[in-house]
Amino acid sequence: MSIFNKQGDEFTHVVYVPRDPNTKPTYSHTFPVKVGNHVEERWATKVRPIADMTKVLGATGLKRYKDYMVDFNKGQYEYWFKEDVDAAMFKLSSAGVVQKMGLPGAKFKIKCPCCSAIYDKTDIEWV
């Protein structure tokens, strides 16, 4: 079993990563299509890769659609690689990754450099 990119490159080594139920695995977007003399908007759905895994793969120098591809099938992510060495490295690095989405207004606390007191974000008055 394998998967191909638009250039015809074959990706044969697959690593399965389970989906976090709190994150959305796909996203939708519109794109214009010319039909006759007018333009219509159509919808496409793409896989939203795991952000931490994308950073790990980018740090190792691997490029999406060139060295690896991401697919979502049957409730789990499928990371496809050209080389078995890259697949083995990814399998080791993805073992302990926690999938999360960054939410706006994240909670944080501030420590005073003078008295070492810790203040919650809600207790601070911004001037």
**pLDDT for 24-47, tens place per residue?**
899 999 999 999 999 999 999 999
pLDDT at 102: 47
Cβ atoms within 10 Å of 47's Cβ, excluding its own:
15
State the pLDDT at residue 83.
Answer: 93
Positions in the chain whose pLDDT score sits under 70 = 96-108, 121-127
- At 121 the pLDDT is 67
User: Can you give the pLDDT at residue 96?
Assistant: 66
CB atoms within 10 A of CB 33: 10
Task: Output the pLDDT for position 1.
Answer: 81
Length, in residues, of the chain: 127
- 8 A C-beta contact, residue 105 and residue 96: no
- pLDDT of res. 116: 82
Q: What is the DSSP string of the chain?
A: --EE-TT--EE-EEEEEEPPTTS-SEEEEEEEEEETTEEEEEEEEEE---HHHHHHHHHTT--BTTTEEEEEETTEEEEEESSHHHHHHHHHHTTTPPP--PPSS---EEE-TTT--EEEGGG----
pLDDT at residue 99, rounded to an integer:
59
